[in-house]
Structure 1
Amino acid sequence: MRTIAIALVATLAAATPAAADYLVKEVGSFHVGGHTETLNGLPSKEIVFSPGAPPIKVDPNGEFEVEQMYVQFVKQAAPKSKLPLLLWHGGGLSGVTWETKPDGKPGWQQFFLNAGYDVYVSDAVERGRASWARYPEIFKSEPFFRPKKEAWELFRIGPAYEVGGKREAFEGEQFPIEAFDQFAKQGIPRWATNDAATQKAYDALVQKVCPCIIIVHSQGGNFGFTAALNAPDKVKALIAVEPSGAPDPGKADAARLKGVPHLIVWGDFIDKVPVWSKLVVNPTKWSQAVAAAGGKVDTFELPKMGIKGNTHMLMMDRNSDDVAKLVNDWIGKQGLEN
């Protein structure tokens, strides 16, 4: 593979790792996980594929590859870390979460490339380039979609969103609200019945590319905790950014993770959105169980650290590089960077 020189632009925020030239050895992608599914007995129909073309008979029966995950990677010629960094997104979203931010500024993918990691960004089962499958024949329910009002309020950008009218933001919030409509374009239909397939694909990814460090967000939290449980020898550190779920300490063996350092990061305004007082419960119980079993668990409550205004989408907030630097510094203290 020919090595390509990539020149970094030296106009990044002060919190960003020092800008410098580095060499990218390979940019690529792959699909992982999934299986073959066979459909029979479905009716054929004629479809016009493009204007002016004759109708063509389409037979929906046969074999299909389903429940796979898409992964994009950037490998450096001389990474500073021996461990790649895997970035896993949340519900109704895709790997775009970690790429260029809605306001056009670099996201965490670029930050951690600058910091010297090989970076893998994935689209989980059913999202983005991972692709869908037929329902109810394969996926067992129809997809559901997130309206902008739900994203505004659930993601703690502001307390109220009036359809076609005023959007009220929290005072001091850090999300670039002028780019909110651009952010809403990232929304992807999701299913409520695919967790088992998604976990299986994530586990396959860990087996393929790890040992590694994993950063998860929101719905990705439970997948990350479980992936570490399933392969504690492969997951060398787990950073959970506002995880919305976690294993049940009464059913999962937290002691398996006593050798996997954990970091949990929480943003601001959690007390202002009632559902979040419920969402923090299970991840907190799980982190306590890991700690009680002898594991290392650190929790960053950003407002208590003097970093205020962060929304649920803190990797897109205006101060996202400050938060990424905290995460990167924490990784460095685990002795994992070299």
Structure 2
Amino acid sequence: MSRLPSVRSLVAALAFGGLGFAIPAVAEEPALEIVGMGSFHVGGRLAEVSGQPPRDIVFTPGAPPARIDPNGLYAVEQMYAQWFKPRTERGRVPILLWHGGGLSGVTYETTPDGREGWVNWFLRRGWTVYNSDAVERGRSGWASPDVWPAPALHLPVGNPFERFRIGQGEGSYSHDPAKRRVLPGNQFPTEAYDQFPRQLSPRWTTTDQPTIAAYIALVDKVCPCVIVFHSQAGQFGFRVAQARPDKVMALVAVEPSSVGDPARVDVLKAVPTLMLYGDFIEQDPRWPTIRRTGIGFAERIRAAGGHADVVDLPAAGIRGNSHMIMMDRNSSEVAQVIQTWLQQKGLWR
């Protein structure tokens, strides 16, 4: 399979006027000034529960019981979104941040070691930002087992350490931080790792279609836009763009673990796409296959007449990234790669 352009040829192509590109040095942070923020829910449906017996519930110790009839209509499969508007808007459209599996919008807020996340980074540069919790995550809420009969997947605290290319694979996690085996040169703030699993959410494997429907509802409400999506949201980002190609100005796929519908890839030919991959991929049993799938989808976009760039960060001199790129110590450098690419696409003024 032929490779897409190397990152060095890609970053040269990203330059204005074709003069060559270098990742800018980190300058003084622009001021963080917002003139508005808020939140809302979109999507979802009403689901009916019937045939369940009423129960008497004591909600507060010492209070009399309340009779609760669980039968009736329930609001389910809605999605929570929070927005922030900067004082000076420089992004021509908003940026939507979509998180990965078993996570929530916390992914983009504050890093485990307390640094500002990508919400603030893009706000500082004049983008209106929408950060969301996908269906069945965080503030979006859950449905009862009468509505979602499949069990939720819960991850033990060591699973992301071993699976997200932070540690040296299976068996590298220990409850004793001194015994954890970290990949040499890894940029994840491992001294604060124990903060990371505290943000894990239950994950269902049967809610992909409701999630796509809710993301489409979000796009219909707030776009045209740029969508930045991570990991599990790979299929959501690409499939929503395939459903609403006129509303999505660009896609930024951060280590997507899945892709869109190959049979409809031609729909994306007018939607420029950037894919980013971190380090240590060849040392992991799963990630070479995942990356090949992503690169193959990018090649399909290009074959259909579209524009898709793939950046291997280590080849660009940005080394040590785990799967949680937006939490790594060098996350600002990666954000700058995204920013420069979006500027080249004419989406920032």
Shorter-chain TM range is over 0.9
- Higher mean C-alpha displacement, 265-274 vs 39-48: 39-48
Tell me what 2:180 maps to. 167
Root-mean-square deviation (Å): 1.5
**1:322 match: secondary structure:** helix
**2:158 match: secondary structure:** helix
Tell me what 1:87 maps to. 97
Tell me what 2:264 maps to. 253
Scaled by the length of structure 2, the TM-score of the pair is 0.89
Matches of 2:69 and 2:290 in 1, distance apart?
A: 44
Residues 236, 260 of structure 2: 8 Å contact kept: no
Matches of 1:39 and 1:226 in 2, distance apart?
A: 31
For residue 230 of structure 1, the aligned residue among 243, 251, 267 is: 243
- Higher mean C-alpha displacement, 71-80 vs 170-179: 71-80
* 2:79 maps to amino acid: M
* 2:55 maps to amino acid: K
Residue 207 of structure 2 corresponds to residue 198 of structure 1: no
CA deviation string 1:147-200 (max 9, x = no partner): 122100111001143443421000000000011110110100010000000000
Matches of 2:158 and 2:32 in 1, distance apart?
A: 42
Tell me what 1:6 maps to. none
Residues 17, 111 of structure 1: 8 Å contact kept: no
* 2:293 maps to amino acid: N
Q: 1:44 Cα shift?
A: 1.7
Tell me what 1:280 maps to. 291
Tell me what 2:8 maps to. none
Matches of 1:15 and 1:218 in 2, distance apart?
A: 26
Residues 36, 64 of structure 1: 8 Å contact kept: yes
Residues 16, 325 of structure 1: 8 Å contact kept: no
Tell me what 1:10 maps to. none
Q: 1:55 Cα shift?
A: 2.0
* 2:49 maps to amino acid: L
> Unaligned 5+ residue runs, structure 1?
1-12
- Higher mean C-alpha displacement, 199-208 vs 153-162: 153-162
Matches within 5 A, 1:1-150: 15=26, 18-20=29-31, 22=33, 24-135=34-145, 137-150=146-159
* 1:262 maps to amino acid: T
For residue 221 of structure 1, the aligned residue among 234, 242, 246 is: 234
Tell me what 1:4 maps to. none
Residue 312 of structure 2 corresponds to residue 301 of structure 1: yes
Measured at CA, do residues 21 and 62 of structure 1 come closer, stay the same or move farther in structure 2, by a change above 3 Å? closer
For residue 212 of structure 1, the aligned residue among 206, 225, 246 is: 225
Residue 326 of structure 2 corresponds to residue 315 of structure 1: yes
Scaled by the length of structure 1, the TM-score of the pair is 0.92
Matches of 1:204 and 1:83 in 2, distance apart?
A: 17
Tell me what 1:324 maps to. 335
